[in-house]
Amino acid sequence: MPYHIVKLPDDEPWRVWKLYPDTAILHYGEALDIFLLLGEEKALLIDTAYGRGEFPNLVASLLDGRELMVVNTHGHYDHTGGNPWFPRVYMHPDAALIADRAFGPVDEAWLANMPHRDYEKVPIGDGHVFDLGGRKVEVLHTPAHNSGSLSFIDHGRRLLFSGDEFDAGQANLGDISSVRAFLANMERLWSREGEYDWVMPNHNGCPVDKGYIPDFITAARNVCEGKPDLVSREGLPAYKRGFGPCVRVRVGLSAINYRPD
C-alpha cells in the first residue's frame, strides 16, 4: 500500500534513472543523489536525502519484492532526513549522534506523518559487509568531511560510493586535521582502485572517473606539507553548517575546501 504523503510547498522534484538494471540513482532537487542497489534477495538504499515528497513510494516501487536495508554515508540531515520512513537504519556510531538534527525548522505535520520516528539506529563500521544475494557491498570508515563518514565498495558492480567525502571535483573539509585524515582516506581508497571502476558521490554529478583520487591525494599532501596551490573561491557558494571561512586548493581535476589554522 502506498505511503500517505504530506506535501510541502518547497518540495523539489525527484528524478530516477538506472545506471544498470540493478542500480538506480534517485536524484532530488538540483544536486543531491542517493542510490538503490538491488541484489538477488535484498536491496540496499544508500542514504535517504531529506525524505521529502514521494520518496518512500518511489523506493517501494523499485524493490520488486526484495527486503530493504537502509544505510547512511554520514549523519548530515540531507542524507538522513528520510530515515524515519524505515524501521531501522545502519550507520556509524558517530552518525547516530547527529542523524536527527535538521538544518532548520521542520514542518510538524510532515514529521508526524513519518511512521518510524523512533527508528532503530544499527551501528556499523569498517569491514562490515552487506550481502544482497549475488552482490556484496563492503563498508569503509573514511572520516574527514565528518567523523561518522562511511564509503562503500560495491563488489558486484565495481562502484565506489563516496558519500560527501568528495564529489565531482571537490572535497569540503574542516581544519588541517581533517585534511590529514582525508589524505589517509584517499591513499587507502586508491590502494584499492583495482576493485572499482567508477566513483558515485552524493552531490554534483555521478558517476565520476576514479582518476580524481590521485589529484585529491596530491592536493591534500600539498596542504599537509605547507605548500598548497591556492585558487580563488569567487563565484562559489559560501561554506555552511559550521565549517566556517575556508580557502580552496586545486590540483588537476580536484579541489579541496578547508579552514586554515
pLDDT, tens digit, 9 for 90 and up, residues 133-169 = 999 999 999 999 999 999 999 999 999 999 999 998 8
- Other residues' Cβ atoms within 10 Å of the Cβ of residue 22: 18
**Residue-level pLDDT at 1:** 55
205 conformational bin, left if phi > 0, alpha if psi -120 to 50, beta if neither:
left
171: helix, strand or coil: strand
The per-residue pLDDT for 253 is 87
Instruction: Give the per-residue pLDDT at 238.
Output: 61
Structure confidence at residue 226 (pLDDT): 93
Do 4 and 86 meet the contact criterion of CB atoms below 8 Å apart? Answer: no
Please give the pLDDT value at position 237: 64
Residue 92: φ, ψ to 5°: -70, 145
Q: In 3D, which of 97, 109, 89 has the Cα closest to residue 46?
A: 89
The per-residue pLDDT for 180 is 98
Backbone angles phi, psi at 84, to 5 degrees: -70, 0
Per-domain boundaries in the chain: 14-169+197-214
Rounded Cα distance, 141 and 128, in Å: 10
With left for phi above 0 and alpha for psi between -120 and 50, is residue 150 left, alpha or beta?
beta
d(C-alpha 139, C-alpha 73), whole Å: 10
Closest by CA to 214, choosing from 248, 252, 176, is: 252
Segments of the chain scoring below 50 in pLDDT: 241
Q: Domain 14-169+197-214: which CATH class?
A: alpha beta
Measured from the Cβ of residue 234, the count of other Cβ atoms closer than 10 Å reads 6
Is-cis flag, bond preceding 115, omega within 30? Answer: no
Q: How is residue 182 annotated by DSSP?
A: H
CA distance 121 to 126: 16
pTM given for the model: 0.95
Cα separation of 195 and 93, whole Å?
Answer: 26
By CB neighbour count within 10 A (0-12 exposed, 13-18 middle, 19+ buried), where does 191 fall?
A: exposed
Residue 204 region by backbone torsions, left for phi larger than 0, else alpha for psi between -120 and 50, else beta: left
